[in-house]
Amino acid sequence: MSGLLVVDGLQQYLPANLRHITEHVIALKDFQLQGDAVKTQDLHIGAPTHRTVNGQSAPVIHIRPGENQLWRLANISANIYYKVHPQGQKFHVIAHDGTSVDRIWTADSLLLAAGTRFDVLVQGGPAGRTQLQTLPYQTDPAGNSFPQATLATLVSAGTSAAPAALPTSSIAPTVDLSHEEIAARRTVVFSENAAGTKFYINGKQFDPDRVDMRGKLNTVEEWTVVNESNEEHSFHVHTNHFQLMSVNGRPHHGHSLQDVANVSAKGRLVIRMRLKDYTGKTVLHCHILNHEDRGMMAVLDIEK
């Protein structure tokens, strides 16, 4: 079971002319079918699947020409990837994984690994019908291939609205860990056996009774996340968001904190994370459920 909660909306931070625009939750989830029923056992990531938006098959999203809307995109599927593309449109990203960006950026498509969220502004195009699509995506040699599919139909109709100027700078407080003192450095290695039936973090399968890492509250740590396998993994940390510093050796500026990051096959990420507010045990894991359930999860204990 999965769903989407809006804990604190971003509309209060938007410019006054955008503060009361229409908002849509777009929760992306897929179901594998067995006859007329949803299949619940022996699921395979690469099997044909039925994609839905808010539990609906190819729903219609209405917008007026020139109208601005706030869309909350979330991949709440267990395993699969979405590369979301609004035909003839652009996404204006204002938040990533629930944290506001330091600079609003635009994209023709957004990759949502399992668990990823984006808050975006969209602007209605000329009158007519277009598609919200997920584009083809391959998770490298030992991974899976996800075909193109239509997620929803976007209908632009009605009285045209005068397009409002969209913000370009940060709309809410942001965090930058680039110059913080580093209290600890760690390496987190994702790997799997040749058959793809067992998955590991630092050579170990998940044990809820074992503490794999210990950190100190209110300190900043730097982690190098290494993927030794031939398929992508969706790296996720509970409790604290992190800043993605580099991808495969190249400096990265993602414009916000996040709590999910895709790790390419044989790739590596460097992240920085402040351990704040919460003490006790939490977890880090691959957000692909099949991988997590087969061992790719570890326990982090945060101490005062």
- Give the model confidence (pLDDT) of 237-278 as tens digits: 999 999 999 999 999 988 899 999 999 999 999 999 999 999
- Distance between CA atoms of 15 and 20, rounded to whole angstroms? 10
Q: Which pair of tokens denotes residue 214?
A: 């210990």
Distances 56 to 59, 82, 131 between C-alpha atoms, Å: 6, 16, 15
Q: Is the pLDDT at 11 greater than 90, yes or no?
A: no
Three-class secondary structure of residue 293 per DSSP = helix
- Asked if pLDDT for residue 17 goes beyond 80, the answer is yes
- Please determine, for residue 40, whether its predicted confidence score (pLDDT) is greater than 90: no
Radius of gyration for the chain, computed over Cα atoms and rounded to the nearest angstrom: 20
Q: Per-residue pLDDT for 130 more than 90?
A: yes
Enumerate domains of the chain plus CATH numbers.
11-156 (2.60.40.420), 182-303 (2.60.40.420)
DSSP for 64-75 reads -TT-EEEEEEEE
- Residues 299 and 281: their CA atoms lie apart, in Å, by 7
The 10s digit of each residue's pLDDT in 46-101 is: 899 999 999 999 999 999 999 999 999 999 999 999 999 999 999 999 999 999 99
Whole-Å CA distances, 190 to 107, 223, 277: 29, 13, 27
Give the pLDDT confidence of 195-236 residue by residue, as tens digits. Answer: 989 999 999 999 999 999 999 999 999 999 999 999 999 999
pLDDT (tens digit per residue) in 153-182: 999 999 999 878 888 777 777 899 999 999
* Torsion, CA 192, CA 206, CA 137, CA 153, rounded to 10: 160
Residues 6+ apart with CB under 8 A from 294: 197, 198, 199, 205
Q: Taking residues 180-188, report their average pLDDT.
A: 98
Q: Which of 123, 243, 276 is nearest to 177 (CA)?
A: 243
* 23 pLDDT above the threshold of 90: yes
Q: Within 13 Å and on the Cβ side, how many CA atoms surround 291?
A: 29
Beta pairing, strands 60-63 & 149-156? parallel
Give, in order, the Cα–Cα distances in Å from 40 to each of 16, 34, 217. 46, 9, 40
Q: Residue 244: what pLDDT?
A: 97
pLDDT at 167: 81
Structure confidence at residue 48 (pLDDT): 92
Q: Which of 303, 97, 297 is nearest to 184 (CA)?
A: 303
Tokens of 66: 């020139």
What integer pLDDT is reported at residue 163 of this predicted model?
78
pLDDT at 27: 98
AA identity, residue 226: V
Indicate the pTM of the whole model.
0.94
The answer to whether residues 261 and 274 touch, using CB atoms and an 8 Å cutoff, is no
How far is residue 27's CA from residue 72's CA, in Å, rounded to a whole number?
Answer: 8
Task: Give CA separation, 33 vs 13, 42, 176, 293, in Å.
Answer: 42, 12, 44, 21
Q: Which residues contact 50 (CB under 8 A, 6 or more apart)?
A: 30, 31, 32, 33, 57
